[in-house]
């Protein structure tokens, strides 16, 4: 790989690269489509999977095909009118309500943290260091993820060197976020709270783990050895569901890492946050993104948004 290829790859998120590669493989191998494709071929591809794959998945497949043709210097067939009309027709005939993670309520967060606190104390008394590490990490992950409204991949990419501790809380820096198209990076303030404090939970995790550099949240084996690598994004949902299940949260299988983000949005709406303040705090760039995470847009009908 030469330098140009290296930087081209770096411009695309790792998860996006994997999903695009999988999409191209599906088109070529599963559907036996030819590349470069014509607009008619792409339209037939969409119709063959209409009602089978979700609209979002079909859009992702189109994005992958579009990128492939652009990178190879071919005309982009996905922009043709027939493709757009077919996709619109599929949306009309196969309307599907978008699945969203179940939001974590504050009372459920407290129930889970209380449960983890009990396990932490038990682990200290029994001197089971591996368990102490896991429970302390999990507590910090949940509280930091909830109170900052982080996305799952943002949680896994937090670095100790990019978190500044001060009297009022934490100042976190992420070099890349979903809405940061220009890759300018973004700072996030994390407040000190009297209860369910994310700052104290983070400090406790650093103290117990003795970590001073690198990613914040990592896997831990049964003997208490901490991995040098970050928790994999694919392991985050099973981990969160396991924590909630053990803590006695009903229907734990309906939760995901996004439950923390949606849960915070619910809490903020219930506590009278202005939607513009919420968007700025969480990092949403447009109101439609914000309203998707709210119980109802009626919460903000009387707010003037300019």
3-class SS letters over the chain:
CCHHHHHHHHCCCHHHHHHHHHHHHHHHHHCCCCCCCCHHHHHHHHHHCECCECHHHHHHHHHHHHHHHHHHCCCCHHHCHHHHHHHHHHHHHCCCCCCCCCCCCHHHHHHHHHHHHHHHHHHHHHCCHHHHHHHHHHHHHHHHHHHHCCCHHHHHCCEHHHEEEECCEEEEEECCCCCCCCCCCEEEEEECCCCCCHHHHHHHHHHHHCCCCCECCEEECCCCCEEEEECCHHHHHHHHHHHHHHCCCCCHHHCCCHHHHHHHHHHHHHCCCCHHHHHHHHCCCCHHHHHCCCCCHHHHCCCCCC
Domain membership flag for residue 167:
yes
One domain, residues 137 and 235:
yes
Domain membership flag for residue 306:
no
One domain, residues 165 and 58:
no
Domain membership flag for residue 98:
no
One domain, residues 178 and 285:
yes
One domain, residues 15 and 139:
no
One domain, residues 74 and 124:
no
Max Cα–Cα distance, the chain, nearest Å: 68
Query: What is this structure's pTM?
Result: 0.71
Residue 85 maps to which CATH number? 1.10.150.130
* pLDDT tens per residue across span 111-154: 999 999 999 999 999 999 999 999 999 999 999 999 998 888 89
One domain, residues 155 and 276:
yes
Instruction: Give dist(CA 133, CA 131) in Å, integer.
Output: 5
Residue 178 maps to which CATH number? 1.10.443.10
Domain count, the chain: 2
Residue 295 has pLDDT above 60, yes or no: no
* pLDDT tens per residue across span 171-190: 998 876 666 555 667 888 89
Domain membership flag for residue 120:
yes
Domain that holds residue 161: 106-300
One domain, residues 17 and 58:
yes
One domain, residues 133 and 175:
yes
Summarize the confidence of residues 188-209 as an average pLDDT. 94
* pLDDT tens per residue across span 26-59: 999 999 999 999 999 999 999 999 988 889 899 9
Residue 305 has pLDDT above 60, yes or no: no
Domain membership flag for residue 156:
yes
**Can you read off the two tokens belonging to residue 64?**
């992958």
One domain, residues 234 and 142:
yes
Contacts of residue 132, Cβ cutoff 8 Å, sequence gap at least 6: 120, 123, 124, 208
Domain membership flag for residue 248:
yes
Domain membership flag for residue 12:
yes
One domain, residues 72 and 30:
yes
């Amino acid at each position: 790989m030469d330098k140009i290829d290296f930087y081209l790859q770096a411009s695309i998120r790792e998860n996006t690269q994997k999903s695009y590669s999988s999409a191209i493989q599906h088109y070529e191998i599963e559907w036996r489509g030819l590349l470069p494709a014509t607009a008619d071929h792409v339209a037939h591809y969409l119709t063959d999977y209409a009602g089978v794959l979700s609209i979002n998945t079909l859009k992702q497949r189109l994005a992958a095909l579009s990128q492939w043709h652009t990178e190879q210097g071919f005309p982009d067939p996905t922009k043709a009118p027939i493709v757009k009309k077919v996709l619109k027709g599929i949306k009309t005939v196969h309307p599907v309500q978008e699945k969203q993670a179940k939001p974590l309520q504050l009372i459920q967060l407290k129930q889970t943290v209380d449960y983890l606190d009990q396990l932490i104390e038990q682990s200290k008394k029994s001197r089971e260091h591996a368990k102490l590490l896991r429970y302390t990490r999990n507590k910090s992950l949940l509280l930091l993820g909830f109170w900052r409204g982080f996305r799952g991949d943002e949680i896994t990419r937090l670095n100790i060197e990019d978190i500044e501790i001060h009297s009022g809380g934490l100042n976190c820096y992420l070099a890349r976020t979903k809405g940061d198209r220009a890759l300018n990076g973004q700072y996030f303030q994390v407040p000190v709270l009297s209860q369910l404090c994310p700052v104290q939970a983070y400090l406790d995790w650093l103290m117990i783990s003795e970590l001073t550099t690198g990613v914040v949240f990592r896997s831990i084996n049964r003997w208490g050895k901490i991995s040098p690598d970050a928790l994999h994004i694919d392991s985050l949902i099973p981990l969160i569901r396991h924590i909630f299940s053990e803590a006695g949260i009903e229907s734990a299988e309906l939760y995901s890492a996004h439950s923390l983000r949606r849960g915070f949005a619910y809490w903020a709406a219930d506590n009278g946050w202005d939607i513009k303040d919420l968007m700025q705090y969480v990092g949403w760039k447009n109101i439609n993104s914000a309203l998707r995470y709210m119980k109802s847009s009626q919460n903000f009908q009387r707010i003037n948004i300019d």
